[in-house]
Amino acid sequence: MKPLVRTLGVLALALVGLQLFFVLRIASMAWIDPQSTAFERSQAWQRAHADGTLRWRQQWCDYDQISVHLKRAVIASEDDSFSTHDGLDWTALEKAWAKNAKAQDRAAVAAAKNARAPKVVGGSTITQQLAKNLFLSGERTLFRKGQELVLTLLLERVLGKQRILEIYLNSVEWGEGVFGAEAAARHYFRKSAAQLTPYEAARLVVMLPRPRYFEKLPNSQYLSDRAQVIVARMPEARLPGAPR
């Protein structure tokens, strides 16, 4: 019994130590711009392991140097209640749970017919996406999801909305080795992130779920049509710190 208690004690201490590490890392981000994320390093390692090359385009851009159109577009598309929720959009999570429950039922039928399984939806907020990209692996386990929720709440409490959006826009993937708004604006439109038009900003945001896929389809009709939808939503997107 004693060895078991001792082992559990060591695991508990390790877990507490890990959380303290995350707290310190997040606190440092209030003043220090993160140079890379766990996701970026993982992508770079995979690419280097595959063909020996390292493609990494990224240039930090302060919040005020990022087009307001891109800020509005990402909120309108990815997380329309970003400025008001506590890091978790419970309504979106409930909808995602309901959709995924139905998807599991359809998956069983699809498996029996050797058909394509239905898509599983997420419901993640911008803060949750940032928490995952900054610190976590891509594996889908209950522990990793729980850690994501803890990190999400820490980010909200320690950094605040504007800093979260700034780090997110500077680290999100926009293509093969293309990270952040400045690199994306230069790569796709040959201009700075500050100069993006509403349509250009919306088009970049539409790429976010599958950036490497859409990078290969510059003339995609879906990108154009969906971007127009996002442009129409952008005036209603509330930015952090804006009055109600």
For range 119-134, the mean pLDDT: 80
* pTM for this prediction: 0.85
For range 137-148, the mean pLDDT: 82
User: For residues 172 and 179, is the Cβ–Cβ distance under 8 A?
Assistant: yes
pLDDT at 128 over 80: yes
What structural domains does the chain harbor?
Answer: 35-89+125-236 (1.10.3810.10)
Q: How confident is the model at residue 125 (pLDDT cuts 50, 70, 90)?
A: very high
For range 111-119, the mean pLDDT: 47
Q: What is the pLDDT of residue 8?
A: 72
Q: What is the pLDDT of residue 107?
A: 47
